[in-house]
């Protein structure tokens, strides 16, 4: 089993946006991989996977979604194009 924990620190609003973007995907749990979210002063993401391939797939999905939120957040805050 491969386990990892990611912790994101930022404003409450940004963390909430990330949480909302990741929450629907957290229900995808398979036999090989899953992740859990915990929102507090930081956003904690706990990943569990049976093998490296499943771990990579979940990690890439999370990184992609967080990247989309971050780009959108910056565009809204600073009026830049995505």
Render pLDDT for 19-68 as a digit per residue (tens, 0 to 9): 999 988 777 677 899 999 999 999 999 999 999 999 999 999 999 999 99
pLDDT at 77: 77
Tokens 């909302």 belong to residue: 20
The CB density around residue 23, as the number of other CB atoms within 10 Å, is: 11
Determine, yes or no, domain membership for 45. yes
pLDDT at 13: 92
End-to-end CA distance of the chain: 37
Report, as an integer, the average pLDDT of 7-24.
Answer: 93
The CB density around residue 39, as the number of other CB atoms within 10 Å, is: 16
Q: Domain tally for the chain?
A: 1
> What is the span of the domain harbouring residue 12?
2-74
Helix axes 52-78, 12-22, angle to 10 degrees: 130
CATH code, domain with 9: 3.30.310.50
pLDDT at 80: 65
Report, as an integer, the average pLDDT of 5-12.
Answer: 95
pLDDT at 5: 97
């Amino acid at each position: 089993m491969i386990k990892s924990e990611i912790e994101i620190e930022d404003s409450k609003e940004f963390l909430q946006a990330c949480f909302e973007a990741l929450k629907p995907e957290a229900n995808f749990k398979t036999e090989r991989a899953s992740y859990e979210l915990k929102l507090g002063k930081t956003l904690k993401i706990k990943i569990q996977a049976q093998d490296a391939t499943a771990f990579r797939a979940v990690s890439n999905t999370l990184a992609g979604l967080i990247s989309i939120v971050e780009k959108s957040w910056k565009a809204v805050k600073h009026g830049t194009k995505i």
